[in-house]
């Protein structure tokens, strides 16, 4: 199991992906170095619904706080979060904060999303944040589909930008905001363009590399990240390096999931040629699939509000009606998926509430077998390996039957 550390992962062919990996290996080093290079602070967020553009417009770097995936560290938050009911991610993130891993950050920002991360924010605010830190928690529409939601969210974003300006002591203009929006939009466009290559029969990048690429977009300055994405894209358009050659193309549909050990297990250690070709998850397509539109071309707040409400929803925002299944269906089709792993963090209610519908959609309507897994901060490799191998064997059997038919 010690081969599950990043030194053992297959080395990416492209240097841009090697850089993404390095950033993911030590996000704190990046954050600290960024602060030294720039005259700005770093603001942590916990959920991808946090409006990063507003923070960035103020000259601050938004970084997503991630867990440490180390069982011995996660209990640190037991004094603050009810362990018997809160998801491992929410607890792991807070534990990292309590252990001082994010001591280079200068604040936190959150829009009201799932209750577990609200707890993380509140406990972080109470026990990790220091006097004078930037702290901004605001209510956004709980469901993404309501009439009046865009206007309401826009009003909260306006307040948020003012809070950023108050914190930095500098004026933050609408032009600053438009610029920030453009940088993040470009990041999303580029990610999506690179993802197109995962649709190929022989994808040039693995699921693990894609995960590192997306996760690093939550760690690095988007302008810097964009440079690497552009240069990677150019190389991929004219690519002649090693490719995956999967017999089985999988997707995962997950709660928060940044677990590289899991990806390594699936893609390198099952004894089958498996590649994860896409995902419907926040460390993934949910976060970058849509950019802003020009519906509200003269109002950056309405523009952003629309973008955040229209993005592929997390289950907790897929309300009151289920729209999310269309996105899952589209991804499964376009990426030509053979099987899907449905992953919920332990106690993740929003995903638990949707899993049955995901399963029905994929198995009954699309004939795509599914496997359900429950994640903890550190996944039990031995047990998951057995289950995943059995799952792939099932895909193998189904494929064989199809051949026998014809």
Partner 1 sequence: MSSTNQVQEPESDGNVYDEQLEMYPEFNRYQYGFYKDFAEADGIKWAGGGWSYEAIPEGLGDDVYFLAGEPYGAVVAYNEEISRDFLNAADAKGLSSDLCGYMVNYWGGLTQNKYVLPDGTVYDQFPDVDFNVNSHICCTHAKWYQKAGELEAVYTDPNGEQTPFFGVDIIGGPNAYDDEDLIEYNRVQIEQMIDWIQEVTGRTFDDARYIKAVKNEMWTMSTWAKVCALQKAHPAPLEERRMFSLYAPSIARRSTDEAPELYARLLEEVTDMVERKATVSGRQDFRFISDSPPPWAHLDIYRYIRDEYNAVSLGSLYSWGLTGAWRGFDGGDEWDWTPLDTPMERGIEIEDRDTAIEEMIKWNMRRPAWNVFGGHLEAKQKVTLAMAEEFDVDFVLMHLNRGCEGWALNQVEVSNYLKDHGIPVLEYEGNQADQRDFDPSKLRQKIDMFMEGRFNA
Partner 2 sequence: MIAAGIDIGSDYTQAAIVDDDGLLGIGEARTGFDLNKAGERAIADALSQDGVSRGDIDVLVATGEGRKSVDVDKRVTSYTVIGLVLNQEWPSARSVLMMGAKNAAALKLSETGMILDFDENDRCAAGVGRFLSDLTRFLDMSLDEVIQATREVDEGVEELNTQCAVFAESEVISLIHENVSPARISRGVHDAIAERNSALLRRIGIEEDVLVVGGVGRNVAFIEALEDIIETPVHVPDHPAHVAAHGAALSALFDDAEQLQQDIEVGSKQTERFSDSIK
Binding site for partner 2 (CB under 8 A): 1-2, 4, 70-72, 74-76, 78-79, 83-84, 88, 376-383
Q: Which of 6, 155, 168, 396 lies at the binding interface for partner 1 (CB under 8 A)?
A: 155
In whole angstroms, the minimum distance from the beta carbon of 369 to partner 1 comes to 16
In whole angstroms, the minimum distance from the beta carbon of 47 to partner 2 comes to 22
Based on CB atoms, which residue is closest to partner 1, 153 or 337?
153
Helix and strand numbers, DSSP H then E, in the chain: 16, 8
What does the radius of gyration of the chain's CA atoms come to, in whole angstroms? 21
Q: Which stretch binds partner 1 (CB under 8 A): 121-129, 240-248, 291-299, 387-395?
A: 121-129
In whole angstroms, the minimum distance from the beta carbon of 323 to partner 1 comes to 11
**Partner interacting with residue 131 (select from partner 1, partner 2, none; CB below 5-8 Å by kind):** none
Dihedral of CA atoms 42, 143, 213, 36 in degrees, nearest 10, equals -10
Report CA torsion sign: 45, 48, 51, 56.
Answer: positive
**Helix H or strand E segment including 264:** helix 260-268
Count of residues interacting with partner 1 (CB under 8 A): 47
Q: Which of 3, 18, 37, 142 lies at the binding interface for partner 1 (CB under 8 A)?
A: 142
In whole angstroms, the minimum distance from the beta carbon of 229 to partner 1 comes to 32
Q: Which stretch binds partner 1 (CB under 8 A): 35-43, 167-175, 288-296, 345-353?
A: 345-353
Which of 404, 345, 355, 342 lies closest to 379, judged by CA? 345
The contact mask relative to partner 1 for 74-93 (x = CB under 8 A, - = no) is -----xxxx-xx--------
Contact yes or no for 266/274 (Cβ under 8 A): yes
Q: Is 132 in the site for partner 1 (CB under 8 A)?
A: no
Contact yes or no for 246/198 (Cβ under 8 A): no
Q: Which of 201, 320, 383, 393 lies at the binding interface for partner 1 (CB under 8 A)?
A: 320
Question: How many Cβ atoms sit within 10 Å of the Cβ of residue 235?
Answer: 17
In whole angstroms, the minimum distance from the beta carbon of 243 to partner 2 comes to 31
In whole angstroms, the minimum distance from the beta carbon of 92 to partner 1 comes to 16
**Helix H or strand E segment including 277:** strand 274-280
| CA–CA distance, 182 with 149 (Å, rounded to integer) | 23
How does DSSP classify residue 258? -
Write the burial class of residue 271 (CB in 10 Å: 0-12 exposed, 13-18 middle, 19+ buried): exposed
| CA–CA distance, 353 with 356 (Å, rounded to integer) | 7
In whole angstroms, the minimum distance from the beta carbon of 148 to partner 1 comes to 3
In whole angstroms, the minimum distance from the beta carbon of 75 to partner 2 comes to 4
Q: Kindly write down the DSSP assignment for every residue of 187-208, as one continuous string.
A: HHHHHHHHHHGGGSSS-SS-HH
**Partner interacting with residue 234 (select from partner 2, partner 1, none; CB below 5-8 Å by kind):** none
- Please report, for residues 118, 265, 271, 346, the alpha-carbon distance to residue 388 in angstroms, rounded to integers and kept in the order given: 33, 9, 10, 18
Based on CB atoms, which residue is closest to partner 1, 137 or 239?
137
Binding site for partner 1 (CB under 8 A): 79-82, 84-85, 112-116, 118-119, 121-123, 125-126, 137, 139, 141-143, 145-149, 151-152, 155-156, 315-316, 319-322, 347, 349-350, 352-357
């Amino acid at each position: 199991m010690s081969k599950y550390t990043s030194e053992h992962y297959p080395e990416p062919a492209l240097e841009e992906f090697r850089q993404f990996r390095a950033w993911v290996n030590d996000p704190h080093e990046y954050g600290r170095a960024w602060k030294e290079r720039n005259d700005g602070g770093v603001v942590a967020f916990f959920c991808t619904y946090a409006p990063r553009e507003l923070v960035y417009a103020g000259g601050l770097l938004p970084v997503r706080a991630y867990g440490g995936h180390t069982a011995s560290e996660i209990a640190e938050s037991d004094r603050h979060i009810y362990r018997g009911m809160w998801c491992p991610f929410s607890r792991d993130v807070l534990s990292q904060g309590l252990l001082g891993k994010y001591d280079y950050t200068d604040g936190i920002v959150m829009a009201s999303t799932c209750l577990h991360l609200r707890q993380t924010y509140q406990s972080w605010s109470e026990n990790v944040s220091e006097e004078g830190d930037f702290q901004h928690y605001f209510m956004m529409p709980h469901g993404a589909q309501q009439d009046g939601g865009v206007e309401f969210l826009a009003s909260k974003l306006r307040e948020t930008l003012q809070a950023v300006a108050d914190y930095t002591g500098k004026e933050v203009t609408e032009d600053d905001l438009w610029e920030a929006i453009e940088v993040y939009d470009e990041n999303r466009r580029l990610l999506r363009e690179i993802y197109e290559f995962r649709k190929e029969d022989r994808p040039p990048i693995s699921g693990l590399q894609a995960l590192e690429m997306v996760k690093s977009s939550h760690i690095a300055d988007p302008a810097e990240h964009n440079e690497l994405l552009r240069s990677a894209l150019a190389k991929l358009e004219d690519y002649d390096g090693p490719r995956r050659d999967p017999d089985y193309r999988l997707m995962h549909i997950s709660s928060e999931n940044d677990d590289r050990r899991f990806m390594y297990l699936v893609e390198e250690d099952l004894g089958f040629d498996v590649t994860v070709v896409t995902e419907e998850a926040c460390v993934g397509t949910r976060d970058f699939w849509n950019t802003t539109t020009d519906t509200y071309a003269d109002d950056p707040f309405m523009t952003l509000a629309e973008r955040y409400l229209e993005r592929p929803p997390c289950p907790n925002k897929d309300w009151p009606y289920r729209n999310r299944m269309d996105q899952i269906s589209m991804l499964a089709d376009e990426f030509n998926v053979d099987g899907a792993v449905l992953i919920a963090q332990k106690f993740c209610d929003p995903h638990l509430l949707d899993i049955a519908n995901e399963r029905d959609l994929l198995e009954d309507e699309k004939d795509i077998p599914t496997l359900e897994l429950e994640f903890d901060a550190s996944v039990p490799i031995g047990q998951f390996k057995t289950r995943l191998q059995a799952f792939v064997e099932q895909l193998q059997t189904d494929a064989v039957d199809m051949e026998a038919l014809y």
